[in-house]
Amino acid sequence: FPWKEIMVLPVQWHALALALFASSIAPFGGFFASGFKRAFKIK
């Protein structure tokens, strides 16, 4: 690589963190919500 370091803004780190969260953790939110509703008998 011709460059030694890449200029990365805090906003870009934040976007990356959100993207990682959305792709890895968020899909399980539906299963969690379903289990939560079932546990407390909420229709």
Annotate 5-17 with b (16+ C-beta within 10 A) or e (fewer): eeeeeeeeeeeee
pLDDT tens-digit map of 2-34:
777 888 899 999 999 999 999 998 888 888 889
The reported pLDDT for the residue numbered 4 is 77
- Say what the pTM is: 0.50
What is the 3-state secondary structure of the chain?
Answer: CCCCCCCCCHHHHHHHHHHHHHHHCHHHHHHHHHHHHHHCCCC
* Stronger pLDDT, 43 or 22, i.e. the higher one: 22
Residue in this structure with the two tokens 């539906």, named with its chain if needed:
30
